[in-house]
Amino acid sequence: MNAAIHLLRRASRSSVRIEATIPERHPSAKILGTARVGSGSIVASEGLILTVNYVVLGANALSVTLQDGQELPADLTAMDLTSGLALLRVEATSLPALSFATSRDLRLGDEVFVVSCIGESNFRVADGFVTYLGPFDANWEYTLDRAIMSSALNPGLGGGAFVDRLGRAVGVVSLSLNTVGRFTLGIPGECYLDHRDELLRHGRRKTISPRAWMGVFCHTMQDHVVIAGLLPGAPAERAGLKQGDVILTIDGRGVADRRTLYEQLWTHRAGDAVHLQIFRDNEVQTVRISTVDVEEYFA
């Protein structure tokens, strides 16, 4: 255990606190607020920091606090709305970078640690075990082919590191969950490592075509998908979709769960029209939605 403590102390030196200010006019402000705080990890000694995108989405001012208390302005370097990650950069050198690895060698039952920065020279660590490795879909239009879930309770803020017993980050903390034994969701390390060069070169994922996006929040209920909310000004709201609508089909294909809805939606490119058959007010209706590129919506 002493070795594990040593490794975690070393990993904690790479943990930073991120503060973001977002204009009220930005589409994300109504949902995520205009003042956000999160964690991040230094992944290159030249000032590169990895975090989750919802902390910094739409920010016009960013600052990073290092473990020595030094506060630095930061710039958004890259945003990956497909995986949910973001890269920031600060003007600094010789920073303590955290070693990153893929999650592909993780197995159920492996011990992992969640590291979170909560302020100047303060960090928290929680330990637990890997309790799930596999597909994940969220109530917004987002999926992971291989998510990490752990029994460790996130001790702080989103964007911190999932660390293995070798002291390597194998993922990034995304969400705190409410399922027993699956308290923390992690984005696997390969989502960063596999696309790092592309993100640093272009600031985004350019090797994938912009896929269709509607701007809905939804959940699965009794083999149907129910609309739980709509992003303001997004295609779904403009098309007249409403909270409580039950989606029966997309382009004539039945959808029994939201992952199927997303996968069918993503067979289209951004800008394509999709047709949803919905159930509302005891009748079936058809709604035509002109999709957009999510990056353009949040630009």
- Residue at a domain's end among 74, 96, 118: 96
The count of structural domains within the chain is: 2
Nearest to 146 by CA among 128, 157, 130: 130
- Residue at a domain's end among 76, 96, 116: 96
Does some domain include residue 186?
A: no
Q: Tell if the pTM clears 0.75, that is, is over it.
A: yes
Does some domain include residue 168?
A: no
CATH number of the domain within which 51 lies: 2.40.10.10
Find the domain containing 265 and state its range: 216-297
d(CA 293, CA 212): 6
* CB distance 259 to 135 below 8 Å: yes
* Chain segment 247-283, per-residue pLDDT in tens: 999 999 999 999 999 999 999 999 999 999 999 999 9
pLDDT at residue 124, rounded to an integer: 82
- Residue at a domain's end among 64, 96, 128: 96
Amino acid, res. 223: D
Does some domain include residue 105?
A: no
12, pLDDT greater than 50:
yes
Does some domain include residue 54?
A: yes
